Amino acid sequence: MDGPNVVRRGAAAVLAAAICGWLSTLGQSAAPVELLAATRSEDPPPKPAPKPKPKPPPPDCARAKCVALTFDDGPAESTSELLDILAARKVKATFFLIGENVAKHPDLVRREHEAGHELADHSYTHADLGAASKEDVRSELTKTQDAIRRASGVTPVLLRPPYGSTSERLAGITRRMGLAQVMWSVDPLDWEHRDTGDVERRVLKAVKPGDIVLMHDIHRTTVRAVPKIIDRLAAEGYVFVTVTELFGGRLEPGQEFVRRNSGEPQGLP
């Protein structure tokens, strides 16, 4: 009768030995896990991402020799070359955009905005807004505002009426739409004289502190005049600003702005 008991005792002994061996193995493998956990806990915390540098304040155009370069009728293929020129010289400009061209080249509008240039309205079809009906004016401006916003996320606050054609009706509409009317004080007639040297000479001869220079980035002859214009004016101490910077951000909707008022000091030491 002892036979079955002997078998049971033997099986129990084998099982006990197996359990002891498994526990021993578990204890040995736990040590590296604990060591690894301890090592990981001693790793230095990740460094916080560096904060972006704050943008420098715009120039004080009551004291600096400021000039605003503005470009009408784009964007066009030649606008890309102009943006390269401005970027190389770290110059900011104001672009008065035609809505139809914005719809054709939204990538260039985004590039203008990302480079820090000012985007502004120049109507959708280069219409004579001063002679247009109230309904046509609203359509031209609203469609252009929407096109620029879709392309860049920005809603312009400046309008340059094509041909400089304005009216009391347009003044009232732009006042309600929050758009200041921006004209110009230097016009090299680059649309008529497609000659790079002529554009350079006309601008450089006419510019004074506080001026708004009108040019057209749709003409390559104009775009190729820009490097010499910038380099010569910079050598004379001029600072290049957007239209809004030129007036210190004080542009009342509906009003016309031709240049910084001559009564406001320019270029003082």
pLDDT band at 265 (very low <50, low <70, confident <90, very high): low
Least confident of 48-62, 131-145, 244-258: 48-62
pLDDT band per the 50, 70, 90 thresholds, residue 58: confident
Separation between Cα atoms, residue 245 and residue 135, nearest integer Å: 32
- Judge whether residue 24 has pLDDT over 80: no
With a cut of 80, say whether residue 37 has pLDDT above it: no
**What is the pTM for the complete model shown?**
0.79
pLDDT band at 56 (very low <50, low <70, confident <90, very high): confident
Q: Catalytic residue numbers?
A: 72, 216
Residue 203 confidence (pLDDT): 98
pLDDT greater than 70 at residue 27: no
Identify the band that residue 232 occupies on the pLDDT scale cut at 50, 70 and 90.
very high
Is the per-residue pLDDT at 212 higher than 90? yes
Distance (Å, whole) CA 204 – CA 186 = 10
pLDDT score of 55: 72
Whose CA is closest to 206, among 220, 194, 189, 218?
A: 189
> Confidence class of residue 206 from pLDDT cuts 50, 70 and 90?
very high
Q: Which two tokens stand for residue 95?
A: 């672009």
Domain 65-257 has CATH 3.20.20.370: yes
pLDDT at 44: 65
DSSP states of 108-143 as a string?
HHHHHHHTTPEEEE--SS---TTTS-HHHHHHHHHH
Backbone angles phi, psi at 245, to 5 degrees: -65, -35
Alpha carbons 2 and 7: distance in angstroms, whole number: 9
Residues of the chain with pLDDT > 70, as a percent, come to 77
The pLDDT assigned to 46 comes to: 66
Average pLDDT over residues 252-265: 80
Asked if pLDDT for residue 261 goes beyond 90, the answer is no
Average confidence (pLDDT) over 90-106: 98
Residue 31 has pLDDT above 90, yes or no: no
Is the pLDDT assigned to residue 26 strictly greater than 60?
no
Domain-wise residue ranges, the chain: 1-39, 65-257
The pLDDT confidence band at residue 41, using thresholds 50, 70 and 90, is low
Residue 59 has a pLDDT of 87
Sign of torsion, CA 143 145 150 152? positive
> pLDDT tens digit string along 141-167?
999 999 999 999 999 999 999 999 999
pLDDT of residue 186: 98
Q: What is the pLDDT of residue 29?
A: 47
